[in-house]
Structure 1
Amino acid sequence: MIWGKRGSEVQRSALAEAEPLEAVRLAVDSAAAGRWEALDDLVEALIDVDAGDDEVAARSALTLVAGVAGVVDRLDRHARQAPWSGPYQESPVRRVGARFSEATSGPVAMALASMHGDGRIRERAVAAMVDRPCPETMPFVVLRTGDWVKPVRDRARAGLALLLADDPGGYLPAVLPMSLRLDARLRGGFAVTQVRAALLSGPAEVRRGLLGSGDARQRRFVFDIFLAQGWLPLPELMTFAQSDSDVRIRAYAAEAACRAAVWTRRHDLLRRLARSVRAEVRVVALTGLVRVGQDGDVAAYLDDDAPLVRAVARDAARRVGIDAREHYRTATGAAEPALGAIAGLAETGSASDALLLRRLLTHSHARIRAQAVRSLRLLEAIVAQEVLPLLRDSSPAVVREVTTALRPVAGTVPPSLLWQLLGDARVELRRSGYRLLRGRSVDVQLRAALILTVDSDPRLAERGKADVTRLARDGARTTWRRTPPPELSVTAVQHGELTAMAARAAAAIGEVTSRMLTTWLADARPGA
């Protein structure tokens, strides 16, 4: 959402025409990334829901607010701030205090009042949410457990502890996300401590439900508790290690499963994990096989795609008498070498092995060509004239690797070729040309960046705009600058071309940058 005067008016018009709950949903989406106007619009939408006296709708609205990470927290921080001008010089949350009643207010009014600037109103709102609890208001109670006012904080902490002890299944799912967000704050650790205690003492089905739901931070927190308490049997650890979507959980589960397999001499389980498609699982499994003395099995992974797996395999190969360097030389000389073998030769070989790699620069498979260029770069055996033809390779990955390899010797690349690449129809070639032009003189960098600011690819255009801004700021004359500005040495013809390009790019780079660039170019005019 792009905010400004016009954007705010359009947003408020859409909210006014929508149904109350739909208005809340729209406001939540805008508030997740918008400025303060979006948060005020969200409060107004919530007040409209509260005015309907429909508790089901009110609880649904609070669910929408709590369902997007960070919105409750941003709303709380924003509630006690007011802009200097505009339609919301008084925050809408402050108006809630006048209509809040401890006995009759609904969930939305209680939640909004809990963010009021007056500590007495916050304390009464917390008391009301604890006396008439529902899961939808729990994130707001959790926020107040870290309140800077002690009576508010104590009331929220006592209520949270009692609710979690009485009904962990009903309140843990609502409390856990906000508790983890507060954990790093001053006075924020209490909620996490209560959540951990509720998980340890609560029903097993509640813990299981939380283990398989929520975002990555929540799942990791619950998984760590399961792992520390030994609640996961070996078959379940194997399942997590092989199929979980979170890399940290996979790695921790694999480590625990391999440790148990080593203790119980279950070599079959270690071999099974060693065949995993996940590198972090394979390396732990191979480490386990090394610990039980199965070096021969581990050495078979010399050509693995993962660098750490190859390192473990080379250590095992040394113990069983295999020369890893000779193995890689032989494997790289095959008609269809494995990518891991090519990378392994770069890790163990020297510049004398470059001949084996250079013949792969014309291989029919793009991934092999890309790996060959990468390996030659790691061996510091790049010859610019040999890889220049690959700058126009059909594979973006090859172009990317050649560009990286040529950057240290970009001065040896013909400038005409780089300007041709910068004007090519393929986005990866334009990116390559620009990367190789960036290390040249100031006038070349400025010309290339100005060309890029109007590129059809948004990411390239943003890169060009950022570099033009940097150059213009460096070139602007300021009284505080201790280092001299970059020298823009150009002929009269080149100066005219840069001036024309700056005019064409003015809309893209913005008024401020355009003004600085114009001033810099005027100062750099030949004969000025």
Structure 2
Amino acid sequence: MPDEPIVDSIHRLTAEAVDGRRPAFAELADALFAVASDAELADSALDVLAAAGPKIWIDLDVVLRPGRYGYRDPRITQPTAVHELSNPLAVALAACGRNGRERHRAIGHPAMRTDVRLFPVLAIRTADWAETVQDRALRVLGDVLTDADAAALLAVVPVVARIGDRSRGNRTVETVRDALRRADDSTLSIVRGCADLHGRRFVFDVSLEAGRMDPRQLAAASLHESDIISRTRCAEALAARAIDRDQPELMEELLAGRSARVRVTALTTLVRLGHPRHGARFLDDDASMVRLTAQWAVRRAGGDPAELYRQRLQDAADRGRRRGLLAGLGDCATSAEAALVLPYLRDHSSRVRTEAVRTLRRLDALADVLDAQGDVVALLEDPAPVVVRNVADLLRASGSKAPAERLWGLLGDADRPRHVRETARRLLADRDAWTRIKADLLLSGDPDALLSSRASADLAALCGRDAAYIHQRCPAELRGELEELLVAAEDAVGPETTRLLRWLVRSGR
């Protein structure tokens, strides 16, 4: 940018490139060549790139070799500093150049072995398409990682984790794996804390395969690691150790894990070790996989999970987890338990009301409870959109229909929330084609732009693909009303859709 210091431009362009703005890479490449001749600016620019993460060099490696040929392009006619490898940034730029001999020469520069900021570029060159460059880069990387500290490994691992799936990346992966296996426990622990997700997962894989994590470390990672894949693998490794050595106490701590997969692993392992008593406390878990595992554990202990759900739902002191209890009842009970669910349709929590509706659907209980339909239909006016959506799903699944008069009233009341009116339109549209057309026409000119556009789009879809499947004739008592609605809605619907709808109405189909 005009009047912007060049290093500030590099900061800005690097941030844009990291955010995924592809055009920024070309500008960034030009800026890097522009500062390569100034040792101080080049060093600052290299610091910026080193802090940007591993992916920046992988993408720059492609951009630094432009597909166009032009003598004024600095990426082809490299500055003298780059050709002479006069500073670490110049070495990195030369190592990403078009000329294989230049890349080979840059890889052999002493800075490639000593400057940790260049290690990502060195790792990329180990998968170079030129075999001589690839071989030299692998030798240099092997020397660098012979007695590598945490800083060197943290610079290399995230890049290797990304390029390892390339056809030429196998030897690189093995080189880095060997270095991680040789690292001492302290270094390996530091590298497992790599900020990059791919790199951290790579190090966890090596650590677990090599058996380099003790029970304490496995438990800590199972409970606190942010990557769900690594967290689950650590829990599974700890579970295998607990089973092999008959140590159920190793898994009890994992029952408090925030990950559902970890809790399932812990609970399953304890049951296998003959300790199913922990199942009852997880019957109300929010995660379905944990609840189902807990129900299995209760059965293995000789209990009946459905009976426990009935007792806890009736116990006022145990209703704090009522959402999980309702979901669990839906897992294993029958429609006979629907009466327990109905009071929760009026719960103050929208999440509990939603779960109560879902439970009635899973119990297939609507037809068995005479008063339920009235309670459920009343929830079509619920202020929470998720509740209304689930009520509509329940009505559709059960084959029940809300009273048409009530739905027309909800549809036409402009003071109702959008989600209530939209659900009323969809439920009316489910009845037959002519009711669908009427509901769409009523909303097509609505002041709510979103409702209007959805109704108009539905009419266009009906005319475009569904009109041929309208086999029922338009009821005589409805023709006049539809004609009037078509006149009022023509501007919103469009002349072509209006013309086809008017023909459908008048043709007596």
Provide the TM-score with structure 1 as the length reference. 0.75
Q: Does 1:186 align with 2:186?
A: no
Distance 2:123 2:139 in 1: 11
Cross-structure match for 2:323: 339
Q: 1:107 aligns with which of 63, 66, 88?
A: 88
CA 1:191–1:132 in structure 2 vs 1: closer, same or farther (change >3 Å)? closer
Q: Distance in 2 between matches of 1:166 and 1:74?
A: 29
Alpha-carbon offset, residue 134 of structure 1: 1.7
> 1:40: Cα distance to partner?
1.4
Is contact 1:24-1:42 (8 Å) kept? yes
Among 37, 61, 65, the alignment partner of 2:48 is 61
Q: Distance in 2 between matches of 1:519 and 1:100?
A: 68
Q: Quick one: which amino acid aligns to residue 207 of structure 2? A: F
Q: Is the 8 A contact 1:82 1:89 kept in 2?
A: no
Cα deviations across residues 207-245 of structure 1 (Å, max 9, x unaligned)?
221111222222222122222223222223222222333
Deviation at 1:173, TM superposition (A): 1.2
Offset of residue 302 of structure 1? 3.1
1:4 alignment partner in structure 2:
none
The counterpart of 1:416, out of the listed 408, 413, 416, is 408
1:330-479 equivalences in 2 (<5 Å): 330-335=311-316, 337=319, 338-382=322-366, 385-395=374-384, 397-406=386-395, 408=397, 412-413=401-402, 414=404, 416=408, 419=411, 455=450
Deviates more, 1:280-289 or 1:114-123: 114-123
Change (3 A) 1:307 1:475: closer
Aligned residue identity for 1:20: I
Give the structure 2 partner of residue 29 of structure 1. 15
The residue that corresponds to 1:7 in the other structure is none
- Give the equivalent residue in structure 1 for 2:252: 271
Matches within 5 A, 1:155-304: 155-304=136-285
Q: Once the two structures are superposed, what CA deviation does each residue of 1:301-351 show, in whole Å capped at 9, x if it has no partner?
A: 333333223323322333333222233233333445433332222111222
Distance, in Å, in 1 between the alignment partners of 2:5 and 2:441 is 52
Q: Deviation string for 1:243-272 (max 9, x for gaps)?
A: 333323332333333443444444444333
- Following the alignment from structure 1 to structure 2, what is the Cα–Cα distance between the partners of residues 309 and 247? 16
Please say if 1:147 is aligned against 2:147: no
User: Which sits farther off after the overlay, 335-344 or 408-417?
Assistant: 408-417
TM-score (norm 2): 0.77
Distance 2:279 2:138 in 1: 53
Q: Secondary structure at the match of 1:94?
A: coil
The percentage of aligned residue pairs carrying the same residue is: 29
8 A contact 2:36–2:82 mirrored in 1: no
CA distance, structure 1, for counterparts of residue 485 and residue 66 of structure 2: 52
Letter of the structure 2 residue corresponding to residue 70 of structure 1: K
2:29 to 43, 59, 62: 43
Contact 1:164 1:171 in 2 (8 A): yes
Q: Deviation at 1:176?
A: 1.0
SS state at 2:78 partner: helix
Question: Is 1:310 matched up with 2:295?
Answer: no
| Selected match of 1:500 from 483, 491, 496 | 491
Kindly indicate whether the alpha-carbon contact (under 8 Å) linking 1:130 and 1:159 is maintained by their aligned counterparts in 2.
no
- Alpha-carbon shift at residue 368 of structure 1 (Å): 2.6
1:165 Cα deviation after fit: 2.0
Residues 411, 325 of structure 1: alpha-carbon distance in 2 compared, 3 angstrom cutoff:
closer
SS of alignment partner, residue 232 of structure 1:
coil
Larger Rg: 2
Q: Is the 8 A contact 1:391 1:402 kept in 2?
A: yes
Aligned equivalents of 2:443, 2:156: Cα separation in 1: 53
| Maintained 8 Å contact 2:33/2:75 | no
Q: Which runs of 5+ in 2 are unaligned?
A: 367-371, 471-478, 505-509
Indicate the residue corresponding to 1:327 in structure 2.
Answer: 308
Name 1:52's counterpart in structure 2.
Answer: 38
CA–CA distance in structure 1, aligned partners of residues 111 and 415 of structure 2: 65
Output the CA distance in 2 between the equivalents of 1:93 and 1:438: 64
2:129 partner SS = coil
Determine whether 1:75 maps to 2:31: no
Task: Give how far 1:20 is off.
Answer: 2.3
SS at match of 1:147: coil
Q: Which stretches in structure 1 are left out of the alignment for 5+ residues? A: 1-14, 477-483, 503-517
Distance 2:211 2:310 in 1: 46
The count of aligned residue pairs is: 477
State the AA in 2 paired with 1:228. E
- Superposed CA RMSD in Å reads 4.2
Rounded Cα–Cα distance in structure 1 between residues aligned with 2:72 and 2:395: 56
Amino acid paired to 1:235 = R
Amino acid in structure 1 at the alignment position of 2:380: L
Residue 372 to residue 224, structure 1, CA distance change in 2 (3 Å): same
In the TM superposition, what are the counterparts of 1:83-122 in structure 2 within 5 Å?
92=73, 94-95=75-76, 97=78, 99=80, 101-122=82-103
**Could you tell me how far 1:185 is from its partner in structure 2?**
2.0
Q: CA deviation at 1:90?
A: 8.6
Cα 1:79–1:91 change in 2 (3 A) is farther
Amino acid at match of 1:221: F
